């Protein structure tokens, strides 16, 4: 009897684990009553297997959902990264364009200052009235030049946006070299200029002096013209 009980206990444990076939065999050895028990065990074993399959299916579904979520998250991250990169590129482009425009403006200002310095040198040599007349003519020319430059600038901007970045970098280097050369030339001119420029004057101050001289000469010329008209 003890042996039979142990066999039945073993069968029942196997059924719980889901191995029904082994349970049936054990029942046959035990006799009629044992056979009945074995059959029941087998059925129980079958039930256990089905449950396991269902669990597996559920797990697979969950995994799929998780994978989908992960994919969505990855896509969102990629989109965010792309947007950030685009924003950074736009900002860099804007900065580059602004820097180039500033460089252009500085170059033009330098050219204008050089022209004013040359006028000062020329006006110092001539007489008072004659110098004034000359100054007026040069002023008009300067205004025309400025207008032309503005038009050119707009055209340059449009062309630049179409061209590639590599060329921009090369241009920058060239511009810097040109600037250095111009500054050197200027210093030499100031040293070997007329009496007015012999002082160590900054370019802005020199421009202001030139403007003042031009206005005084122009006023003198106007006074002379009115006097001639009255007589």
| SS3 state at 93 | helix
Tokens of 227: 């006097």
Name the more confident of 199 and 175. Answer: 175
Q: Taking the chain, what is the end-to-end CA distance rounded to the nearest angstrom?
A: 157
Name the more confident of 3 and 27: 3
Output the DSSP codes for 157-226: HHHHHHS-HHHHHHHHHHHHHHHHHHHHHHHHHHHTS-SGGGS---HHHHHHHHHHHHHHHHHHHHHHHH
CA atoms of 94 and 102, how far apart (whole Å): 12
- DSSP state, residue 126: S
pLDDT given at position 122: 59
HSE-up (13 A, CA, CB side) for residue 227: 6
Determine the angle formed by the axes of helices 203-230 and 128-162, rounding to 10 degrees. Answer: 130
Mean pLDDT of 190-217: 62
Q: What are the tokens at 111?
A: 């050219």
Residues 67-80, mean pLDDT to the nearest whole number: 78
Distance between CA atoms of residues 127 and 133, nearest Å: 10
Do 2 and 23 touch, CB atoms closer than 8 A?
no
Domain limits, the chain:
2-77
Dig out the tokens for 192 from the structure: 């070997």
Query: Across the chain, how many H-helices and E-strands are there?
Result: 6, 0
pLDDT of residue 229: 72
pLDDT band at 29 (very low <50, low <70, confident <90, very high): very low
pLDDT the model gives residue 59:
56
Q: What is the DSSP letter of 18?
A: T
| The two structure tokens encoding residue 197 | 């420029």
- Which two three-digit tokens encode residue 52? 């396991």
What pTM value is reported for the model? Answer: 0.22
**In the prediction, which pLDDT does 89 show?**
92
Tokens found for residue 50? 């089905």
Contacts of 115 (CB under 8 A, 6+ apart): 138, 142
Q: What percent of the chain has pLDDT over 90?
A: 6
The pLDDT tens digits for 105-158 are 888 888 888 777 776 665 544 444 444 444 445 555 555 555 555 555 555 555
CA dist., res. 151 & res. 130, Å (int): 33
């Amino acid at each position: 009897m003890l042996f039979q009980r142990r066999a039945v206990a073993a069968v029942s444990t196997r059924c719980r684990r889901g191995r029904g076939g082994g349970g049936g065999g054990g029942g046959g050895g035990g006799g009629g009553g044992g056979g009945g028990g074995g059959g029941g065990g087998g059925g129980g074993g079958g039930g256990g297997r089905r449950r396991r399959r269902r669990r597996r299916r559920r797990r697979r579904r969950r995994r799929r959902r998780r994978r989908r979520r992960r994919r969505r998250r990855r896509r969102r991250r990629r989109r965010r990264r792309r947007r950030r990169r685009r924003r950074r590129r736009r900002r860099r482009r804007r900065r580059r364009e602004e820097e180039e425009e500033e460089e252009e403006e500085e170059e033009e200002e330098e050219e204008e200052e050089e022209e004013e310095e040359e006028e000062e040198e020329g006006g110092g040599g001539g007489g008072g009235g004659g110098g004034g007349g000359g100054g007026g003519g040069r002023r008009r020319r300067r205004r025309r030049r400025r207008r032309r430059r503005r038009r050119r600038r707009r055209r340059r901007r449009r062309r630049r946006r179409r061209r590639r970045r590599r060329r921009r970098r090369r241009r920058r280097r060239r511009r810097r070299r040109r600037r250095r050369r111009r500054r050197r030339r200027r210093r030499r001119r100031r040293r070997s200029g007329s009496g007015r420029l012999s002082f160590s004057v900054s370019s802005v101050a020199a421009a202001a002096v030139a403007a003042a001289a031009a206005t005084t000469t122009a006023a003198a010329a106007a006074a002379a013209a009115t006097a001639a008209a009255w007589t």
